């Protein structure tokens, strides 16, 4: 009788430990992850450095970006935004147009955060695709790596070269 009790406790512990190891899968479907992904795409489309730095882990993302820089130049944490803004936002834009763009309602015509893959612990990879809600907008995409530690933060990103 006592052995059945201990076996039951062991099985319950195994069930709970399996649930905790799949915590990323549960967290990945939460709305916070979707909101962070959407906010990140909007920040890089509108050159919003304040929003950008709130959504990324500066130290980890800087190291990640420097690992795949081809020309040997190293990014600093202060310049981390530059490659994202260069690829995903207009090179020249008037200040007022930029502010109008940031405050526009229905910013995206289409936005998808898909192919969510757990990597390890509380880390996941997500493929983002979006189209801005403006005439002649072209679809954009990026692969981001996020980690949940008191909220989701971008810790890695890769996109197709131009």
Q: What is the pLDDT of residues 103-130, one digit of tens each?
A: 888 999 999 998 889 888 899 999 999 9
Average pLDDT, the chain: 80
- Asked if 152 and 162 touch (Cβ cutoff 8 Å), the reply is no
Percent of the chain beyond pLDDT 90? 40
Select from 25, 48, 47 the least CA-distant residue to 126. 25
The pTM assigned to this predicted structure is 0.77
Which pLDDT score, from 0 to 100, does residue 16 have?
28
Model pLDDT for residues 58-71, shown as the tens digit of each residue: 999 999 888 877 77
- Separation between Cα atoms, residue 131 and residue 139, nearest integer Å: 5
The domains located in the chain, with CATH, are 24-158 (3.10.450.50)
Percent of the chain beyond pLDDT 70? 80
């Amino acid at each position: 009788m006592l052995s059945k009790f201990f076996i039951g406790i062991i099985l319950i512990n195994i069930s709970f430990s399996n649930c905790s190891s799949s915590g990323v899968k549960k967290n990945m479907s939460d709305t916070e992850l979707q909101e962070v992904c959407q906010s990140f795409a909007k920040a890089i489309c509108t050159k919003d450095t304040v929003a950008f730095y709130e959504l990324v882990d500066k130290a980890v993302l800087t190291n990640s970006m420097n690992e795949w820089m081809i020309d040997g130049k190293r990014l600093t944490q202060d310049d981390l935004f530059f490659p994202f803004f260069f690829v995903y936002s207009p090179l020249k834009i008037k200040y007022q147009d930029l502010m109008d763009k940031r405050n526009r309602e229905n910013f995206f015509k289409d936005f998808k955060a898909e192919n969510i893959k757990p990597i390890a612990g509380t880390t996941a990879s997500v493929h983002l695709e979006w189209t801005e809600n403006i005439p002649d907008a072209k679809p954009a995409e990026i692969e981001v790596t996020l980690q949940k530690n008191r909220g989701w933060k971008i810790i890695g990103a890769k996109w197709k070269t131009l």
